[in-house]
Structure 1
C-alpha cells in the first residue's frame, strides 16, 4: 500500500487496533504485534503528531439530546466560495463540512436539539452568509451504518 506519511505495516496495524477501541492499552497492542511497548508508544505519538490519527471519545449525539440530524447541501456563488468556507467553519454546530463536486459546493452535517434549532441555523446563520445562493436540507431519519473503521 502506498502512502505519503511513510507508514509501515506496524503503524497500519496499530491504527486498525485503535480504530476498534481507542482505549486499547499500549501493552496489549505490543503483545498483539510482537513489538515492545515503547515502540507502540512512540509510534502512536508520531501518528498523533503528524495528524494521521486522533484519539477522541465519540459521543452518541442522540443520547446527548441532539435529536435532529441533518445533511445540508450548500450552493454558493463560486466567486465567494472562500468567504463562505471561512464563515461555515465558524458555525460550531456544523460538525462536518466538505468541499464537494456536483451541484452543491459544500456539504455539511449537523446535530441539533429541535427542528426549530435547525430552522434557526439555516435562516439566521447559513442563509445570511454572503455568497450562499440556496441550500438543500435532508433530515436523517435513521442511521443504517455508522462506523469509524476504514478498510486500508
Structure 2
C-alpha cells in the first residue's frame, strides 16, 4: 500500500484532523493552526492525496431525518469474504461495510427513512449469497 511508504509527522496528523472536522477549511486557516504557509499546506495535502492517505473529501449528511443501524454479519463457511462484502456494499442504504475479526465477519452501517425501510434493507442484506446470519442494533444517538 502506498500509504505505508510515507511517514506522517505531527503536522500531517494535525492537518488530517482539521480536514476531518471541516473538509472545506481553507488552506490558509489550516496554515495558521499548524504554523505553515498556505502553499506548504497545499503541498502536504496534495502529497497526502497522492500517497492515498487522504482518499477523498466528502460531506456528512445529518441522519436525524431517519434511522440508522449497525448490522453484524456472519458468513457461510467457505464464502469468499471479499465478494460478500462487495455485494453488501451495493445494497441501497448501506453507508459502510467493515470486515472484522472475532465472532462476526463484517459490520454494515445502514440508514433508512423509516423502520419499515430499514427492515427491507436488512432483508436485502440477508438475501445475499454467503450471508449466514445477522444481528442488528438500531443506533439511538451519534456522539461524535
TM-score normalised by length of structure 1: 0.80
Alignment of 1:55-94 (within 5 A): 55-62=57-64, 65=65, 67-80=66-79, 81-94=81-94
Q: Deviations 1:39-83 (Å, cap 9, x if unpaired)?
A: 111111121232212322212122xx3x11111011111311333
Query: Which residue of structure 2 aligns with residue 139 of structure 1?
Result: 138
- How far off its partner does 1:104 sit? 1.4
Counterpart-to-counterpart distance in 2, 1:34 and 1:100: 39
- How far off its partner does 1:7 sit? 1.7
Query: Which residue of structure 2 aligns with residue 112 of structure 1?
Result: 112
Q: Secondary structure at the match of 1:29?
A: helix
Quick check: 2:89–2:96 contact (8 Å CA) kept in 1? no
Quick check: 2:92–2:121 contact (8 Å CA) kept in 1? no
The alignment yields a C-alpha RMSD, in angstroms, of: 1.9
The structure-2 alpha-carbon separation of the partners of 1:46 and 1:59, relative to structure 1 and needing over 3 Å to count, comes to same
The structure-2 alpha-carbon separation of the partners of 1:140 and 1:16, relative to structure 1 and needing over 3 Å to count, comes to closer
Counterpart-to-counterpart distance in 2, 1:103 and 1:32: 42
Alignment of 1:12-51 (within 5 A): 12-51=13-52
Structure 2: stretches of 5+ with no match in the other structure: none
Query: Which residue of structure 1 aligns with residue 99 of structure 2?
Result: 99
TM-score normalised by length of structure 2: 0.83
